[in-house]
Amino acid sequence: MDLGRPLANAVAVAGRNIVCLGDLERPKPSVDGYPHEVDDRFADKAFCPGFIDPHNYLRLSGTYMGLESVYPIDSTDPAGRKVAGIDNQGSALNRLIM
């Protein structure tokens, strides 16, 4: 959430994408001249965006599975064996040069 703009009275949507947040006047310059409608069915409601984890890309996850883990939390290696997490720089370097 943007602490400088904690509330929005209007959400402009194009297809499945949110393109503008703010008050109802803010998107007007962008939409005037195009067919559009104001949908006020959520006018007295509040909603928050869903949590999206941008660090878990499926393709990259497959790539990382074959690499040595130097995470601070326990994980598993490509064979499914448990690998203890690393809690300091020295341990990370030791694991990488082994």
Phi, psi of 2 (to 5 degrees): -90, 110
* Number of domain units in the chain: 2
0.85 exceeded by pTM: no
3-state secondary structure of 50: coil
Dihedral, CA of residue 78, residue 81, residue 86 and residue 90, to nearest 10: -80
Tell whether 25 is covered by a domain.
yes
Q: What is the pLDDT of residue 51?
A: 60
In a domain, 11, yes or no: yes
CB contact at 8 A, 65 and 58: no
Look up the domain containing 9 and give its range. Answer: 1-42
Cα–Cα distance for residue pair 85/87, rounded to 1 Å: 6
Quick check: is 53 in a domain? Answer: no
**pLDDT for residue 64:** 67
Each residue's pLDDT tens digit, 70-87: 778 888 777 888 888 888
Whether residue 42 contacts residue 64, with contact meaning beta carbons closer than 8 Å, is answered with no
